[in-house]
């Protein structure tokens, strides 16, 4: 099953996603869709970013791919991708 690697940027707590070409990106649609083999390697590689205190709590989550676009399977990940739910006029969803 395809997966995406996510974490939080330590300095400000922002949700970030792994993209090997640009490292950590803030937009879910820029996240790299990982195969099983790529996912485990990316998660192991994320530990170096943790040691450098760039990100915290990296983990993988399952996605389905629809027309080349990743769609989170769990509501939690859809909410994290959209941004905070308390102020729809702020955050990622305002843009």
Mean pLDDT of 69-93: 82
Residue 53 clears pLDDT 90, i.e. is over it: yes
Residue 86 clears pLDDT 90, i.e. is over it: no
Helix-strand-coil percent breakdown of the chain, rounded to 5? 30, 35, 35
For residue 5, the 8-state DSSP code is E
Mean pLDDT of 4-23: 94
Mean pLDDT of 3-28: 95
Question: What local confidence, expressed as pLDDT, does residue 76 receive?
Answer: 94
Phi, psi of 21 (to 5 degrees): -75, -30
For residue 64, what are its two tokens? Answer: 């389905």
């Amino acid at each position: 099953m395809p997966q995406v690697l996510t974490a939080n940027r330590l300095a400000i707590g922002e949700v970030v996603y792994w993209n090997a070409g640009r490292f950590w990106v803030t937009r879910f649609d820029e996240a790299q869709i990982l195969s099983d083999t790529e996912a485990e390697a990316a998660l192991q590689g994320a530990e170096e970013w943790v040691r450098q205190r760039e990100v915290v709590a990296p983990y993988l989550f399952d996605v389905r791919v629809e027309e080349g676009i990743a769609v989170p399977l769990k509501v939690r990940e859809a909410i994290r991708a959209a941004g905070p739910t308390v102020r729809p006029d702020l955050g990622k969803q305002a843009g």
